[in-house]
Amino acid sequence: MINTIASRIWALLKSFQLTVVLLALLMCLVVFCTLAQVEMGTQGAVNAYMRSFIVWNQPLLLRLPFPGGALVGLLLTLNLIAKTIDIKLTWQKSGMWLVHAGLVVLFAGEFVAGMMQVDTNLSIEVGQTVNFVQSYKQMELAVIDVTDPTWDEVYSVPDTLLAKGGAVAIPGTPITLNVKKFYANAELASQTPGAPPSLATAGVGPGVSIIERPVVSADNDMNQTSAFVEPVAGGRSYGTWLVSVALGAPQSFTHEGRTYTLAMRLRRQYLPYAFTLKQFRHDVYPGTDIPKNFSSLVQVVNPSRNESREVLIYMNQPLRYEGKTFYQASFGKNDTLSVLSVVENPGWLLPYVSCVLVSLGLLVHFAIVLRRSLKRRQDKKEG
């Protein structure tokens, strides 16, 4: 009985019919994802449709569950592996084995990219030195010890942890944050007569009204993440503070001679090296405003390598460094600000390996078929 069920599952897994169904589902997901980008933005649509196992609660699908790209891709990979195993391992079939292996590697590369790729950016002005990259959408509450005028100690609380509420201990400090209220997106306004009193009792918060807004996901929109937090240290409360991306300047309090600031901001990842922007160029075609080239001349300083060198980053010529790839993405402030897109993808080599395997497999298969055809022709002549 068990053998019969296993045989039927294996037959289904390697069937051509399953391949057709999965490819049809993948085509549908591409269409849905493309249409959803209008409201959800590129990243939001890709995460919802292509990098999830099940698509839930989406208007385009009448809020019915639908297999997501991750599930379809996983089944396609298993289907391809099953079909490959079903091919006899002979010299005549070696080309097909290589082609199938290349496709499996391609699917694996997409899975690694979907699960492990991290996209950030680095904004830097001419003459400025920056040693961190920051997220496009994710936020953090930074608790910064600014006591030492030459060095800041930064402690980060991710927005996902703030959203859970409750007490959050800050490792390395005596501070615990009690999260009173969290807003994924909110609008701030000055307090008006008759408005509900603010939860804040310290900083600028007591004079500010906060209105919760729906979360946005479009590429050009950013959530104004906000929260009411109460720092507690040594058994003493330092009041309730309003922290928000919409507030320009950080707020601070002092505990036992050490000064701490609170700032809600885009999540940062600090680097063991620093970039200094020496020059930014925005070239156009003569007599027009059509962009010809964007380029950033940066100086990379890495103390751990005892390294200091200049690198030119321009269109289609990124910098690959320490596991990250820096692309020229945008600019601003009258051509004095350069924005580099930073991608960290552990599987970036897999698509190249896949292309090599598929190309080699097709060449081998073509050579074998050609040799067989020429041999048959020769046999006919001799006969």
What is the rounded distance in angstroms from the CA atom of residue 245 to the CA atom of residue 140?
A: 9
What is the rounded distance in angstroms from the CA atom of residue 242 to the CA atom of residue 247?
A: 9
A 10 A CB-CB count for 169 gives 12
* pLDDT score of 263 more than 90: yes
pLDDT at 3: 76
Among 324, 269, 272, which Cα is nearest to 302's?
272
Sorted by sequence, the CB contacts under 8 Å of residue 59 that are 6+ apart come out as: none
Among 246, 244, 241, 211, which Cα is nearest to 228's?
241
Residue-wise pLDDT tens digits, 215-249: 988 878 899 999 999 999 999 999 999 999 999 88
162 close to 179: Cβ distance less than 8 angstroms: yes
What is the rounded distance in angstroms from the CA atom of residue 379 to the CA atom of residue 80?
A: 36
Mean pLDDT over 172-181 rounds to 96
* pLDDT score of 35 more than 70: yes
pLDDT at 44: 87
pLDDT at 383: 63
What is the rounded distance in angstroms from the CA atom of residue 55 to the CA atom of residue 28?
A: 12
pLDDT at 222: 92
Res. 350 pLDDT band, cuts 50 70 90 = very high
Mean pLDDT over 353-365 rounds to 96
Residue-wise pLDDT tens digits, 182-211: 999 999 999 888 778 899 999 999 999 999
Q: Return the ∠ at Cα 223 (arms to 71 and 336), rounded to 5°.
A: 105
Sorted by sequence, the CB contacts under 8 Å of residue 329 that are 6+ apart come out as: 121, 339, 340, 341
Q: Kindly provide the b/e burial profile for residues 227-239, where b requires at least 16 CB atoms within 10 angstroms of the residue's own CB.
A: bbbbbbbeeeebe
Tokens of 153: 């100690």
What is the rounded distance in angstroms from the CA atom of residue 245 to the CA atom of residue 266?
A: 8
Q: Print the SS3 string covering 278-344.
A: EEEEEEECCCCCCEEEEEEEEEEEEHHHCEEEEEEEECCECEEECCEEEEEEEEECCCCEEEEEEEE
What is the rounded distance in angstroms from the CA atom of residue 96 to the CA atom of residue 362?
A: 7
Q: What stretch of H or E contains 37?
A: helix 16-45
The one-letter amino acid code at 79 reads N
pLDDT at 5: 86
- Mean pLDDT, the chain, as a whole number? 93
- The secondary structure of residue 67, as a DSSP letter, is E
Tokens of 167: 């007490």
pTM of the full structure: 0.83
pLDDT at 197: 87
Mean pLDDT over 99-107 rounds to 93
pLDDT at 4: 83
pLDDT at 192: 80
pLDDT at 291: 80
If you average pLDDT over each of 42-46, 71-75, 219-223, which comes out highest? 71-75
Residue with the bigger pLDDT between 243 and 47: it is: 243
Residue-wise pLDDT tens digits, 272-330: 999 999 999 998 888 888 888 899 999 999 999 999 999 999 988 999 999 999 999 99
What is the rounded distance in angstroms from the CA atom of residue 58 to the CA atom of residue 60?
A: 6
pLDDT at 102: 95
**Percentage with pLDDT > 70 across the chain:** 99
Mean pLDDT over 344-362 rounds to 95
Res. 1 pLDDT band, cuts 50 70 90 = low
Residue-wise pLDDT tens digits, 118-170: 999 999 999 999 999 999 999 999 999 999 999 999 999 999 999 999 999 99
